Amino acid sequence: MLQSRGLPTGWWYSDAEREADRAATLARRPTQDLWVFAYGSLMWDPAFHFSEVRRAHAPGHARRFILLDTRGGRGTAANPGLMAALDTCPEGPGCDGLAFRIPAAQVEAESAILWQRERVADGYLSRFIDTTHAGGTVPALTFLADHSSATMVPTLSRETQIEYIATGTGILGTSADYLRTIARQFAELRIADPDITALLARVEARIAAASATPT
């Protein structure tokens, strides 16, 4: 399907590479149950089965729009898209999201689904970080931005971020809809994220201005 759309192929991990990363990561897990911290699309579409979900906070981390998509998901090489990644940010206020608990007996099966979704290719590092929620502090699995990957571009200007989100589109939809969905999820959860609010306002203004421009 990708070739028929003129999109690049061969950039994804093999099953063996993906499984090796999963096995190495799970071998380091600090608890038998697996907590998973979600900061983006996993919040509304986790795909795996879980027994519990809680509002959670990840100190020392930030949700940043630095994940460049040129492979056809929500952007292409001609019109790049942009999505959120979790980045280390020791001096920031931390990142709010959701924590899902996968019971120990289901970790093997459900983590395989999680890796097939989140570790398709390079861009992330599978790591355990401390998260806080009503039950206290719990180490949770998450997927951190890998700055050595060409898909992570932390130096993007705000104007470039807005342009890519406003114009990026692919087989999964538009980058703008991705941002809108995050904002809707936050509204439902009563999570205040001034950066998301401000970014969405500027993206909507960019889209409206482009629609009003005569062709």
Q: Which residues are catalytic?
A: 118
SS (H, E, C) 42-79: HHCCCCCCCCEEEEEEECCEEEEEEEEEEECCCCEEEE
Task: Please report which helix (H) or strand (E) contains residue 189, including its range.
Answer: helix 175-189
The widest CA-to-CA distance across the chain, in whole angstroms, is: 59
Nearest residue to 189 via CA among 51, 56, 86: 56
CA distance readout (Å), 153 to 10, 26, 109: 21, 28, 33
- Beta carbons of 181 and 97 less than 8 angstroms apart: no
CB burial string 77-90: b at 16+ within 10 A, e below: eebbbbbbbbbebe
